Amino acid sequence: MKRRDSLKTMALASLGASLFLESCYGISRETITRSLTRYEYGRTPEEKEIDDKLFAQKFFTNDELLTLDKLCNIILPPNEFGSIRDAEVVQLIEFMAKDIPSYQEPLRNGLVWIDKECKTRFTKIFIDCELSQQKEILDEIAYYNPNENMDDQSEPVQWFNLVRNLTMTGYFTSEVGIKELGYKGNFPNVWDGVPQDVLDQYGLEYDKEWLDKFVDQSKRNIIAEWDDDGNLIT
């Protein structure tokens, strides 16, 4: 995975968080998308029923979702491939919180903590702080020194690790994230046998009589069909 370009986020350091979100992402406190893309394939009726119940529930408030949106964008800034918004990362985090109840308390407590910390330092909640102020706090829990006494930061550190892991998981398992990784997976190709130069190297060659009996690659995408007697007709 190549290093993400963080300059795009740094360029917005002078803007307020709310202005940044509303102008660049079209998001406001009143309008937060909660719906995940729903894939219908490969789900049993029981699994679909559970999913429907989870989709119908709401866990985070709009302000909490907005805070997560800003936080996830700082963790993984947008680039030419897409953004955490394209990957529906925040929606995934809410879904995971509903699906795994043990996530709920640490996620919410962390959001309460970071707003409280911002108010103490900057007299503003997290999303209203400047990017440099937000990063000042996040850098302390994202790049902490384990040799220092961090007893008072242990829960914030664990919270940030959880959010960071969910952000990375949500993005790099999405269509835009997989595209950024350059992952191709298994896809059909055409194999015309051992290359001629390799055959020449070992003094071998294909029997011309059999070459015409091999699979015709020009018809490789035609779906096979059989008649009622089991004879191949395509």
Structure tokens at 198: 């390799």
Structure tokens at 131: 């990017």
* Neighbouring C-beta atoms of residue 84, cutoff 10 Å: 28
Proportion of the chain above pLDDT 70, given as a percent: 74
Residue that wins the pLDDT comparison between 138 and 147: 138
Cα torsion angle, 154, 155, 157, 162, sign: positive
Res 107: pLDDT: 96
Strand-pair partners of 130: 16
Q: What is the pLDDT confidence band of residue 184, given thresholds at 50, 70 and 90?
A: confident
Contact 74, 89 (CB under 8 A): no
User: Structurally, how many domains does the chain consist of?
Assistant: 1
Indicate whether 15 belongs to any domain.
yes
Residues 90 and 61: their CA atoms lie apart, in Å, by 12
Structure tokens at 43: 């789900």
DSSP per position, 68-110: HHHHHHHHS--BTTB-TTTTTHHHHHHHHHHH-GGGHHHHHHH
Res 135: pLDDT: 95
Host H or E run for residue 141: helix 131-142
Please check the confidence at residue 138 and state whether its pLDDT lies above 90: yes
Res 25: pLDDT: 40
CB crowding 16-51: b at 16 or more within 10 Å, else e: ebbebbeeebebeeeebebeeeeeeeeeeeeeeeeb
* Neighbouring C-beta atoms of residue 74, cutoff 10 Å: 17
Residue that wins the pLDDT comparison between 13 and 220: 220
Residue-wise pLDDT for 150-177, tens only, equals: 556 689 999 999 999 999 999 998 889 9
Indicate whether 127 belongs to any domain.
yes
Domain containing 66: what range? Answer: 7-181
Contact 2, 79 (CB under 8 A): no
Contact 59, 94 (CB under 8 A): yes
Indicate whether 203 belongs to any domain.
no
The length of the chain is 234
Indicate whether 226 belongs to any domain.
no
Please check the confidence at residue 134 and state whether its pLDDT lies above 50: yes
Q: What is the pLDDT confidence band of residue 215, given thresholds at 50, 70 and 90?
A: low
Say what the pTM is.
0.65
Res 152: pLDDT: 61
Res 13: pLDDT: 36
Strand-pair partners of 221: none
Res 113: pLDDT: 96
Least confident piece of the model among 19-23, 48-52, 107-111, 132-136: 19-23
Please check the confidence at residue 118 and state whether its pLDDT lies above 80: yes
Res 208: pLDDT: 77
Indicate whether 20 belongs to any domain.
yes
Angle at CA 229, nearest 5°, toward 223 and 233? 30
Q: Which amino acid is at 3?
A: R
Indicate whether 204 belongs to any domain.
no
Res 193: pLDDT: 78
Residue-wise pLDDT for 1-60, tens only, equals: 333 333 233 323 333 333 334 444 444 444 444 445 455 567 788 888 888 888 888 899
